[in-house]
Amino acid sequence: MVLQQDPKKIGRTDISDLDADPVVVWQHKHYGKSLLIAAWLFPMCVAGLGWGDWWGGLVYAGIMRACFVQQATFCVNSLAHWLGEQPFDDRRTPRDHFITAIVTLGEGYHNFHHEFPSDYRNAISWYQYDPTKWLIFLLSKTTLAYDLKRFRHNEIEKGRLQQQQKALDARRATLDWGVPLSRLPVLSWDEFQFRSTSGKGALVAIAGIIHDVTDFIAEHPGGRALIKGWIGKDATAVFNGGVYMHSNAAHNLLCTMRVGVLRGGQEVEVWKEERETYVKDKIGQLITNVRPLVATADAA
């Protein structure tokens, strides 16, 4: 910011969008004059015409700029890396924060700017304080159209959703979802049945996963008999609507009882038989009467 850079060394940036924008081109051409008017003459006239204090306005404008605006601008490189969140990408350091935005006239929503550097905005939501966004939106339709074309709403939403997903994943990791499938032993169907009958736990297979329900039999809201009747068997269908469509909470509870995975996936015993679980469709073909399975394994 304080040294004259050699463009040959640092390379050039494509500013065709800015060149195409009459407002930006006008401001660039009349930079010195607009600076004098906006930074000095305008505050001087407000104080002079309003209260007859011409010098006061001038001094105030100078002090404000020296003490506040210029210092505040550098908050982008300090506060913005310290306060707030990173709603678009957490690999880059700048963060979004309302306080920093107020101090820096909108620059505090810097995380967006780093993710989409060619978009002129810092903040994108209407309620976020970014005067540049409002000004350019009002004055220059061309810049807006150019940027929106390149950085579609879709891409911005993806970034937002990813961050929300990360936050959810972090919360999710604090809860017990049972032993991950990858760490469970793989058992054959015969092994599963042998263990169930030889007193090595009350095992029930559901959706290809073996669960030890020993401690839960007495607590089962559907009664002991129903759950006991499925020890050593595949209860996928009955658990998922064949007898009772269990809630998400029941699926989550089930996950905490996992002890193994069935080799070859699930054996849906009920579906092998032609029982009342099958109904005929309009053209007379047999279709299953059981509602679609809830992916129990997904809970992990």
Binding site for ligand HEM (CB under 6 A): 204, 211, 213, 216, 220-222, 226-227, 230, 235, 238-239, 243-244, 246-247, 249-250, 253-254
93 dihedral zone (left: phi>0; alpha: psi -120 to 50; beta): alpha
Smallest separation, CB 151 to ligand HEM (Å) = 45
Q: Which is nearer to ligand HEM, 82 or 177 (CB)?
A: 177
Residue of 266, 261, 257, 297 whose CA lies nearest to 186: 261
Smallest separation, CB 76 to ligand HEM (Å) = 52
Q: Which is nearer to ligand HEM, 111 or 236 (CB)?
A: 236
Q: Supply angle C-alpha 160, 249, 161, rounded to 5.
A: 5
Structure tokens at 159: 């970034």
The residue at minimum Cβ distance from ligand HEM is 222
Q: Which is nearer to ligand HEM, 221 or 284 (CB)?
A: 221
Smallest separation, CB 216 to ligand HEM (Å) = 6
Smallest separation, CB 200 to ligand HEM (Å) = 17
Q: Can you tell me the distance from the alpha carbon of 65 to that of 71, in angstroms, rounded to the nearest whole number?
A: 8
Q: Which is nearer to ligand HEM, 100 or 196 (CB)?
A: 196
Q: Alpha-carbon torsion 142, 145, 146, 148, what sign?
A: positive
Q: How far is CA 180 from CA 177, 208, 216, in A?
A: 8, 14, 20
Q: Which is nearer to ligand HEM, 170 or 225 (CB)?
A: 225
